[in-house]
A and B are shown apart, each in its own frame.
Chain A
């Protein structure tokens, strides 16, 4: 968001222009949803958090001084909301949700089950890689880690997923 058009879009958002914000929201919704999905391992929760994030972004965009920082800012809001939700889940002593990422993927129960059991630090890059089709450099930027660590985690995620799937169905 560096050109003049984006700057004026941003200024319009700060004035409370919903149409301008909708343009911004469309650009970033997918990233916000993917991050939430990677954090929460549940499609419905990810959608709720993504919605809440976008609304919160609209309510507080006046506080954002620099337009070019919109993406890290909105992702940070999403991450915070995810952490809040995870904390509430922990307090409620809930196990990983079952079915984990279900709702849209009726025929992938084993995979849903395994995804929900992946450690979050492995699931996040995996979701960004397979769902968002992003490369290691871009994932590294979002997660604040090095690209080589992204590769390591992607490999570890696939290996762990494989192990979990075998554990789920030893005859596979």
Chain B
């Protein structure tokens, strides 16, 4: 077949789907009059066209019956029957309601026993988190080290200074940051700080001597404050849930007072030490150590000065650039920082996809609430159609990329967190899906520090050539209804045009839903 014939054969096909122009049709006729193979091709295509028509006519014959069967099915449907969502199934059964109530009572009893047993004399290592949480201000000073790294000549990399403040009462914080770039020839240390006061954050780059401002919402600022406290507690104490496993490894006099040296560690080669006075309860010092080779530990951070409730000196939260520094923008022209965790995009001949996690919270029962987005810029389908079929506790909406489950980031765990729809919010012409992910087993012990990976699937006609890795790290564990209202519903309201969370999402309903899912999947 010649190239010329090839072009005409496309026109032959087009002639059956009615897309030939008059001129194309004329030219095709002229070609057919001189080309027997193309005439044969036309005849074959005609036969196939007739077969297609006949074939669909055969399906057509029974359409009336099919439609009738569908209508009869609707006719038979009992309108009083509840829809088949898990939540409604739960609430329908008095047994499951009783089971939920019983589980809550058992949990309450267990909580009482645990709380009672934890009451012990003051100034044990387990008091550290309480002291930390009750402090009006927290100030730490010390040095960041670089375990496992040396200068190209084998010498020690000079440590960088830590000087951090948290002013709980006034919602302000200042933190030190450090970055290390290492290659064969060079080691570069980038030092910086972030100062947050009210709705402005100032990032200071001490290496480049520049300052950049950004604006944050009251919610984000409040969340940043809480995160800052959590991070600093993690730096000082490691995993606070494991503090009771600490042991005293030495004693040291500081300012004439005896301090026990407490030590704890994790499975990833990190170790924490705290200098605590058993008499006064003072936390004088803390260190973080890294195991750089089996049995070989190097210091990572040394907090030599720790004080609670100190007065904040003037200038700590000054929002002016330090002398000699250049400002990239001003607080007035600063961009607004959204709640965004991880985001990705993909474009091909069919799609222009964007998806990602906005914010996540863990609940005390191990389930996870995630706000996420997924949309195709190319789609002409109104996005709210995708949500019109959703119910609280029902399946997730079929968004282009569906975050259908989570799994622990730690690959060794088999636990899967299946997603259920809670509600959706709408902001900046986009929908945010809020889903509850409930584990089908016992989550690994280190889930709070390792986080999760999103399992996704495509609800698309063509499978994109796109592989994503979307990590999720919950902000913190929401323990109470008050925290739920403040943080989870707060995030929903933050990511909503009207500043409101979906009306049917409440702490109790979410907890009940998670419990019922567990009951329904239990062996």
Q: Which residues of A contact B389 (CB under 8 A)?
A: 56, 60, 63, 73, 76-77, 80
Check B13–A59 contact: CB distance below 8 A.
no
B419 nearest CB across to chain A (Å): 14
Check B14–A159 contact: CB distance below 8 A.
no
Q: Which residues of B contact A105 (CB under 8 A)?
A: 54-55, 58-59
**C-alpha spacing A50/B67, complex, angstroms:** 9
User: Which residue on B lies nearest to A166, using beta carbons?
Assistant: B44
B381 nearest CB across to chain A (Å): 5
**C-alpha spacing A136/B66, complex, angstroms:** 26
Cβ of B19 within 8 Å of any chain A Cβ, yes or no, is yes
Which of A58, A77, A136 interacts with B19 by CB under 8 Å?
Answer: A136
Mark B425-468 against chain A: 1 for CB-CB distance below 8 A, else 0.
00000000000000000000000000000000101011000000
Cβ of B63 within 8 Å of any chain A Cβ, yes or no, is yes
Main secondary structure of the interface of A (DSSP, over half): helix
CB-CB under 8 A for A165 and B58, given A22-B74, A26-B67, A73-B385: no
Cβ of A89 within 8 Å of any chain B Cβ, yes or no, is no
Q: Which residues of B contact A64 (CB under 8 A)?
A: 388
Q: Which residues of A contact B83 (CB under 8 A)?
A: 59-60
Check A155–B70 contact: CB distance below 8 A.
no
Check A155–B17 contact: CB distance below 8 A.
yes
Cβ of A16 within 8 Å of any chain B Cβ, yes or no, is yes
Q: Which residues of A contact B130 (CB under 8 A)?
A: none
Check B73–A54 contact: CB distance below 8 A.
yes
**CB-CB contacts below 8 Å: A37-83 with B:** 37, 43, 47, 50-51, 54-56, 58-60, 63-65, 69, 72-73, 76-77, 79-80, 83
- Number of B residues with CB within 8 Å of any CB on chain A: 47
Check A69–B385 contact: CB distance below 8 A.
yes
Check A76–B388 contact: CB distance below 8 A.
yes
Which of A18, A25, A108, A151 interacts with B14 by CB under 8 Å?
Answer: A151
Cβ of B347 within 8 Å of any chain A Cβ, yes or no, is no
CB-CB under 8 A for A80 and B398, given A18-B74, A69-B382, A162-B44: yes
Which residue numbers of A lie inside 8 Å of B, CB to CB? 16, 18, 21-22, 25-26, 29-30, 33, 37, 43, 47, 50-51, 54-56, 58-60, 63-65, 69, 72-73, 76-77, 79-80, 83, 87, 101, 104-108, 111-112, 115, 120-121, 124, 126-127, 129-131, 135-136, 141, 144-145, 151, 154-155, 158-159, 161-162, 165, 172
Which residue numbers of B lie inside 8 Å of A, CB to CB? 10, 13-14, 16-19, 44-45, 48, 51-56, 58-63, 66-67, 69-71, 73-75, 77, 79, 83, 379-382, 385-386, 388-389, 391, 398, 457, 459, 461-462
7 A–B contact pairs at CB < 8 A? A47-B66, A50-B70, A51-B69, A54-B74, A55-B74, A108-B58, A145-B380
Known: A33-B63, A59-B77, A161-B48. 20 other contacts (CB 8 A): A22-B74, A25-B70, A26-B71, A30-B67, A47-B66, A54-B74, A55-B73, A55-B74, A55-B77, A60-B388, A60-B389, A63-B389, A69-B385, A80-B389, A83-B398, A87-B457, A108-B55, A108-B58, A131-B59, A154-B17
